[in-house]
Amino acid sequence: MSDTLQIIEALDRGERRVAEKVDGVWRVDEDAKSAILDYFRISKVEPIEVGPYQYVDKIPLKRNYAEAGVRVVPPATARYGSYLSQGVVMMPSYVNIGAWVGANTMIDTWATVGSCAQIGADVHLSGGVGIGGVLEPVQAQPVIVEDGAFIGSRCILVEGVVVGERAVLAPNVSLTGSVPVIDVTQDEPVEHRGYVPPNAVVVPGTRPKEFPAGTYNLSCALIIGWRSERTDLKTSLNDVLREYEIAS
């Protein structure tokens, strides 16, 4: 078996990841990303029969969900070469090749997890969340959502954005590598780019910018509070949503 196919098998079994946290820093496995690109090149487009459905694609679908302890609600789809940990629930949603999803994470209806995205344990991706794929260049960091985070409905995360542990994103927060994430909880604002700190409570925002044609508001995200460390996951999340008037 070629090195490419061995790497794809290892990704599918969760024995290898496109990115892992080492000494507190996320590091990309460039060989794994290269293998995914090679796999696309060597694979042929073929029909795939799934009950009454027919697909035509290069990449087969994952199998053996029951053995893995994963719940998959029709017509949810995960591609071969992605990994779903025990206890994952996929409502009608999509997980692309190279993605890794941690234990007991909920991927809610019409949420998409793009290629190579790394989603932690006990995460909730609410309805319609869009996690972008990052395949090229091979050294580029994928989108990462760390353990215990709550991503509200219709949020968009692309360009290697990192969401820290237990952070809460309100519905419709859209983050790229360049969208400012501004902490407004202190006397002076603190700005982040491509990063949401752990336990942050984030809502959509705007701020003015001068252009030759006038002043216009550009999108940003605002950290308006911090999730409590003293309460358990469920209680803390519910308290946060109520306290900051965020709809889940």
In angstroms, the CA 64 to CA 154 distance is 30
Positive or negative, the CA dihedral 18, 22, 26, 30 is negative
Helices (H) and strands (E) in the chain, counts: 4, 26
* Per-residue confidence (pLDDT) for residue 239, from 0 to 100: 65
- Please report the domains of the chain, with CATH numbers, ordered by start residue: 61-243 (2.160.10.10)
Q: What pTM, to 2 d.p., does this model score?
A: 0.92
Q: Measured in whole angstroms, how far is the alpha carbon of residue 123 from the centre of its chain? A: 9
Q: What is the pLDDT of residue 4?
A: 96
pLDDT at 50: 83
83-132 residue pLDDT tens: 999 999 999 999 999 999 999 999 999 999 999 999 999 999 999 999 99
Of the chain, the end-to-end C-alpha distance in Å amounts to: 47
Q: Which of 221, 184, 185, 186 is nearest to 203 (CA)?
A: 221
Evaluate the CA torsion angle 238, 244, 247, 248 in order and state its sign: negative
Q: What is the pLDDT along the chain (248 residues), one digit of tens a residue?
A: 589 999 999 999 999 999 999 999 999 999 999 999 999 999 999 999 888 888 999 999 999 999 999 999 999 999 999 999 999 999 999 999 999 999 999 999 999 999 999 999 999 999 999 999 999 999 999 999 999 999 999 999 999 999 999 999 999 999 999 999 999 999 999 999 999 999 999 999 999 999 999 999 999 999 999 997 665 555 555 666 667 666 65
